[in-house]
Structure 1
Amino acid sequence: MVGRAGTARGRRAARTAALLVAAAAVALTASCTTGHDRGPRDDGRAPVKPPATSRTEPAKVPGSVLAVKIDNVPQARPQTGLDAADIVYVEQVEGGLSRLMAVYGTRLPEVVGPVRSARESDLELLRQFHEPTLAFSGAQGRLLPLIDRAELRAEPPGTASDAYFRGPDRPSPHNLFLHPDDVLPKAPGAEGLTTGFTFGAPPAGGTEAHSRTVRYPSAEFRFTWSQERGRWLVAMDGTDAVSTDGGPLAPATVVVQHVKIRPSAFHDSLGNNTPYTETVGSGTAEVLRGGKSYDVKWERPEASDGTRFTTKDGKPVDFADGQVWVVFTKA
């Protein structure tokens, strides 16, 4: 592995220093504006103190989550750090293949990867988070200006070279890995996961479901319920999915979300069109939890909103505690 040098630490130190300066300025301003008793009144009565005011704590702003674009062709498997993600989004890309976006809010693994390039759909999907950090290997030249203007902090190798390294056991481009704590000093906690997801007891009803398969033109995902583990075991392209430590990828909840997938204005180097996955709007979905499948509705009115999942009578659908996989499939 390539060592993590001082550039990332320097960035962190600079940000910390800036915060300390800002905090000192706030404290100084507060000390200069503290209320005091007023002087004697013209009518001779006693001085009047300012009225007592209630102190309201400012609303806590969610911290930045880390989103990492993950390679998912067979040469890229098994992946590293995917089991530590709070959410794994599955999207269709060029040639009918798939790519993953792992979102980390509650903890950061030591290493994540292999890291691959971003897509236009990612920018809309990430609007639901407060100033998310996006780690990716690059993007098509015409897409880069859109990424620069997006409401996120982009951290590709070009701006965070010390955070990335090439693994020795795989061919390029399937060997680029990331040290997450070099682009995000700490995980923001659960409050940063502003997805609209809610967690709790399962809804009433549902149908028994032992497995569910989602197919793209050139990729396949199968989720099989394990009563022993209390999780859905993932298989990709007919092979059980594991992390590099050998543990199975096993989310607690799987959402199969039916969305519009349309051509975008972008193509890859071979001329294949890049699909655009529309995650704003409404439609139907299946929520898999506890060995059952629930037919639900999804709604995301604006890009800045999270996605709400409800039953047919409008009641919120809670997910099981643990990792969530959201698989976008064509409606």
Structure 2
Amino acid sequence: MHLSRTRRPGAASALALALLTTALAGCQGGGATSSPGSTEPSTSAGSRAHVLAVKIDNVGPARPQTGLDKADIIYVEQVEAGLSRILAAYSSRLPPVVGPVRSARETDLELLSQFDRPTLAFSGAQTKLLPAIAAAPLDPLPPEKAPDAYFRSSDRAAPHNLYLRPGRTPHATTGVNAAEDIGLRFAPAPPGGRPVADRTVRYPAARFTFTWSAEQRQWLVSMDGAPARTPEGAGLGAADVVVQYVTVRPSLYQDRWGSTSPYTETVGSGSAVVLRDGKEYDVRWSRPAAGSTTAFTTRGGKRMTFARGPVWIVFAQK
């Protein structure tokens, strides 16, 4: 993976074993408790976020995606053939519809163990991966478990037309922001930083560009050279972008065509770049264990602070 910028002047098997030995069995049941439409963030103290994570398609026929603008965190990871896929985490508000929904990957299990037993909505998974998903500390929600929550759109061809209605799922949100729940702090920017106009992250067969808009006070998102938009035509934006340098290696699993799925290691430590308020900051990331959250610290050892709004975390090969 390659990353460029333009300035203004001036372990799989071990993870599976850990999941199988430490996870709680079973899934949450019960009727739907969240209502369709957006849920406004809660200001109540002491409650944990109850995260709904949705695996979202990100190839040309899947765009524009629905509901990305309501996510607290958007994770971008590499999948087969050098393409990318999105894992969107919702907690402070739930959109009426999210999608297109696609299949889960082994990377998702380690990544989501930062949260307190999240719900994972996905269209399916490689057969050999299903036992690890069932054993993971999350509540899996494929279509067969909540058939009334999923539907196929008639304006797109399968497999890019499966959508989720969060209000019809057993998931109940607490309204707590998922980013704050795992330790990201919304506060004024730290001193320093370098002015930057844009950043591009390149995968073998995909790329993302984040361009600062002083007028809109956000980073405008482009995918594969085209502006990312909502179905209504509004541009997608991020308050913060984290380019997190990680190890991407082959996993134990393959897709239906025999291609080995990449595995993104999110436990460990390394470097990252945080984009906020038209500047870039060099930081370090650290996550000692799968059950730990990821900490981002400045070169001076202080916690990195973030602007309030959607946080995009893009995993780039170090």
Cα deviation digits, residues 84-108 of structure 1 (max 9, x gap): 0000000000000000000001000
Listed as ranges, the matches of 1:62-211 within 5 Å are 62-190=48-176, 193=179, 194-211=181-198
CA distance, structure 2, for counterparts of residue 253 and residue 261 of structure 1: 23
Counterpart position of 2:313? 326
Which protein is bigger by CA-based radius of gyration?
Answer: 1
Greater share of residues in strand: 2
Deviates more, 1:282-291 or 1:305-314: 305-314
TM-score, normalised via structure 1 length: 0.81
Listed as ranges, the matches of 1:1-331 within 5 Å are 11-12=30-31, 60=46, 62-190=48-176, 193=179, 194-331=181-318
Letter of the structure 2 residue corresponding to residue 170 of structure 1: R
Cα distance change on mapping 1:184 and 1:244 into 2, 3 Å: farther
Offset of residue 304 of structure 1:
1.4
Name segments (4+ residues, structure 1) moved above 6 Å.
none
CA distance, structure 2, for counterparts of residue 216 and residue 177 of structure 1: 26
Unaligned segments of structure 1, at least 5 residues: 1-9, 16-58
**Is contact 2:50–2:176 with CA below 8 Å preserved after alignment?**
no
CA distance, structure 2, for counterparts of residue 146 and residue 87 of structure 1: 24
CA distance, structure 1, for counterparts of residue 304 and residue 143 of structure 2: 39
**Is contact 2:73–2:178 with CA below 8 Å preserved after alignment?**
no
Offset of residue 60 of structure 1:
4.8
Secondary structure in structure 2 of the residue aligned to 1:259: strand
Cα distance change on mapping 1:295 and 1:192 into 2, 3 Å: closer
Cα RMSD for the two superposed structures: 1.7
Cα deviation digits, residues 208-239 of structure 1 (max 9, x gap): 11000000000000000001100000000010
Letter of the structure 2 residue corresponding to residue 311 of structure 1: T
Unaligned segments of structure 2, at least 5 residues: 1-28, 34-44
Letter of the structure 2 residue corresponding to residue 72 of structure 1: N
Cα deviation digits, residues 153-189 of structure 1 (max 9, x gap): 0010011111000001100000000001122454222
Offset of residue 203 of structure 1:
1.1
Cα deviation digits, residues 10-58 of structure 1 (max 9, x gap): 9317x9xxxxxxxxxxxxxxxxxxxxxxxxxxxxxxxxxxxxxxxxxxx
CA distance, structure 1, for counterparts of residue 46 and residue 129 of structure 2: 33
Secondary structure in structure 2 of the residue aligned to 1:134: strand
Equivalent pairs counted in the alignment come to 279
Cα distance change on mapping 1:63 and 1:316 into 2, 3 Å: closer
Cα distance change on mapping 1:213 and 1:168 into 2, 3 Å: same
